Amino acid sequence: MTTYRIAPSILSADFARLGEEVRNVVAAGADIIHFDVMDNHYVPNLTIGPLVCQAIRPHVQVPIDVHLMVKPVDRIIPDFAKAGANIITFHPEASDHIDRTLQLIRDNGCKAGLVFNPHTPMHYLDHVMDKIDMILIMSVNPGFGGQSFIPQALKKIAIARRMIDESGRDILLEVDGGIKADNIAEAAAAGADTFVAGSAIFGKPDYKAVIDEMRAQLAK
Ligand code: DX5
Ligand code: ZN
């Protein structure tokens, strides 16, 4: 049986009360905290960095999954590892040396992964599967919370699922963007096991009710 993980994106949390927000969402059943890092260069928005990761780290025991939407990638990786990140993913287009960046993440004691935008070909995984712990399929174009799910992502999830199964390795398959209780089951059916949700969770007053509803949809 597949273990499903819910990974709330704190991009839609109240940044003025971030410690309380991450504690509340974990108490509500979050398995992972998804941490979106945007640099106003690789993506047209600017968010949070290692200092904020370090600040929330003592508030939660669950893994922190750092999604780097930055270019260049490498120089910020050791800082996130020191700040308590557990998983670090990056966009292959943002690294000149993908194998090196994956190795750098692992050498810093974190799990490593690649992120695929709606247009990004999956062949970036060729020859590096042995260094991959997570594949993240974007179901929106990166940069903002609250966008609509792009259905084409389901095909890419299915491709990634096949590649993971063929590899025989233990690799998380995460989907990110526009995930809600009413489409989470479709993403799971395509092969995803880890679900990022920002606005769907933090946009509602009762985080537990949303996460419970997502789990109920996954159990059907
Ligand atoms: C978008 C980010 C997402 C975003 C998801 O670039 O990577 O993690 O926060 O937000 P929702 O769930 O609102 O689409
Ligand atoms: Zn993200």
- What are the pLDDT digits (tens) for 91-115? 999 999 999 999 999 999 999 999 9
Give me the interface pTM, i.e. the ipTM. 0.99
Distance CA 190, CA 41 (A): 32
CB-count burial class (<10 Å; 0-12, 13-18, 19+) for 220: exposed
At residue 102, the pLDDT reads: 99
Q: Which residues does 20 contact at the CB level (< 8 Å), separation at least 6?
A: none
Average of per-residue pLDDT values in the chain: 98
User: What domains appear along the chain, each with residue ranges and CATH number?
Assistant: 5-219 (3.20.20.70)
Q: Which residue ranges are tagged as binding site for a divalent metal cation?
A: 34, 36, 67, 176
* 3-state secondary structure (DSSP) of residue 131: helix
Catalytic residues: 36, 176
**Which pLDDT band, with edges at 50, 70 and 90, does 32 fall under?**
very high
pLDDT in tens, 156-168: 999 999 999 999 9
At residue 1, the pLDDT reads: 83
Ligand 1 atom closest to the CA of 197, numbered from 1: 12
Residue written as token pair 């700040």: 83
High-pLDDT (> 90) share of the chain, %: 100
Question: What separation in Å is there between the alpha carbon of 38 and the centre of ligand 2?
Answer: 9
Distance CA 200, CA 12 (A): 9
Whether 200 is in the pocket of ligand 1, judged by its Cβ within 6 Å, is yes
At residue 12, the pLDDT reads: 98
Mutate to test the pocket of ligand 1, among 149, 199, 201 (most ligand atoms within 8 A of CB): 199
C-alpha closest to that of 105 among 48, 47, 66, 138 = 66
Beta-carbon-side half-sphere exposure of residue 201 (alpha carbons within 13 Å): 33
At residue 75, the pLDDT reads: 98
Beta strands 194-197 and 33-38 are unpaired
Ligand 1 atom 1, closest CA = 142
Please state the separation of Cα 36 from the chain's center in Å: 8
Q: Which ligand is nearest to the CA of 142?
A: 1
